[in-house]
Amino acid sequence: MDIKQFEERKRGHIRHALLERHQASGLSGLESVHLDHEALPDFDLEEVNLSTSCLGLPLKTPFYIAGMTAGHPDAPALNRVLASHCHARGWAMGVGSQRRDFEMGGMGAGVDQWSQITGDLPELVLFANLGITQIVPREGRGFEQILDSVQNLCESIRAKALVIHLNALQECMQPEGTPYFRGAEIALKNLCSRLNLPVVLKETGCGFSKSTLQRLAQIELGAIDVSGLGGTHWGRIEGGRAEETGHSLHAEAAKTFSTWGQPTAQVVMDAAHTLSGLEIWASGGVRSGLDAAKLIALGAHRVGYAKPALEAALRTLEKSSQDLDDWMRLQEYELKVALFCTGRRTPAILKGTYNGR
């Protein structure tokens, strides 16, 4: 691995992820979801309780911040801010891709940084993160060796679960991409049956089709993060990077696939129908507590944010402000208002109540 190139790519991802043109805004399907107003709720707003269970662990809210940034010198400070706020407010948090640490045998600088964070914040519910291609056996690296490395990586940062992310479109559009998915489904099935932590399968902005969800019903997942179309679009991001570096083939193809994916709202409904009993996490274009309420009504157990949290965390770092805390409090309050105005005291009571009108 070219470390300098790797770090520059990770920095570029953050820069491009903040650009509005790389958001698939208006494509999540949430705009067409309408929650019925309850004009006469029989309880007080202060009685609304956001507490939920996440993979069997109690949390104060149904929110999480998706894994976003790792592998470059600016990441530790940003992740420390995100982690400390998640710890304080009872949100879960995903780690950015740990590919670099994984390929270094679980001994990379990222492991040390996260170990320090979880040591300081012992109640933080944290999820490790690898791409699907990292767990596929290759020449010279068998499944048992991969399993040991994954287990060590998760234990080293005290992760409560492992997120395996799928990014087929991104790998195709990335000039340095590795779109090598042969054997991935079998590797995932083996990992889920052998790893002593829950495995969360996550897309990265393109969602899941019904047929894919049906195949996943045969795998022992802990949860699925739908990460559908409607938010940050990694095909567009890689297209933007390709344009900057003169890779015209990838840049032009990215324009063609700029709206590729399954809308977040639809994927949540499909997953709730197909994967009965499995925790469904909803991300992809979530921009408010009302969006979160809609996704919960569609069948989601947990709702995740990426770009809005990143923007607020960067403002907090740059200005030593309370922007991230204020933003998190707003999401919680908006969800509470949505629950109150639909006559539900908890997210669990709202879950799966959307009737399609």
The reported pLDDT for the residue numbered 312 is: 95
Q: Residue 71's pLDDT band (boundaries 50, 70, 90)?
A: low
Separation CA 229–CA 252 (nearest Å): 20
106 within 8 A of 150, measured Cβ to Cβ: no
- In tens, the pLDDT along 147-170 reads 999 999 999 899 999 999 999 999
Mean pLDDT of 280-307: 97
- In tens, the pLDDT along 313-347 reads 999 998 888 999 999 999 999 999 999 999 999 99
Grouping H, G, I as helix, E, B as strand and the rest as coil, residue 18 is coil
If one counts every other C-beta atom within 10 angstroms of the C-beta of residue 26, the result is 10
Residue with the bigger pLDDT between 65 and 107: it is 65
Mean pLDDT of 9-21: 74
Please report how the helices 323-340 and 75-89 are oriented relative to each other, as an axis angle in degrees rounded to 10: 40
pTM listed for this prediction: 0.94
Grouping H, G, I as helix, E, B as strand and the rest as coil, residue 32 is helix
Q: Residue 15's pLDDT band (boundaries 50, 70, 90)?
A: confident
The reported pLDDT for the residue numbered 90 is: 97
Separation CA 75–CA 66 (nearest Å): 14
What percentage of residues in the chain have a pLDDT greater than 90? 77
The reported pLDDT for the residue numbered 5 is: 66
Q: Residue 130's pLDDT band (boundaries 50, 70, 90)?
A: very high
CA gyration radius for the chain?
Answer: 19
Q: Copy the structure tokens of residue 112.
A: 């040390």
Mean pLDDT of 179-204: 97
Distances (CA, A) of 357 to 32, 36, 298: 9, 9, 12
Per the prediction, the chain carries an average pLDDT of 92
163 within 8 A of 191, measured Cβ to Cβ: no
- In tens, the pLDDT along 92-112 reads 999 988 888 887 765 555 677
Q: What share of the chain is helix, strand, coil (3-state, %, to 5)?
A: 50, 15, 40
In the predicted model, is pLDDT for residue 14 greater than 90?
no
Separation CA 10–CA 282 (nearest Å): 24
Per the document, the length of the chain is 357
Mean pLDDT of 33-48: 98
314 within 8 A of 78, measured Cβ to Cβ: yes
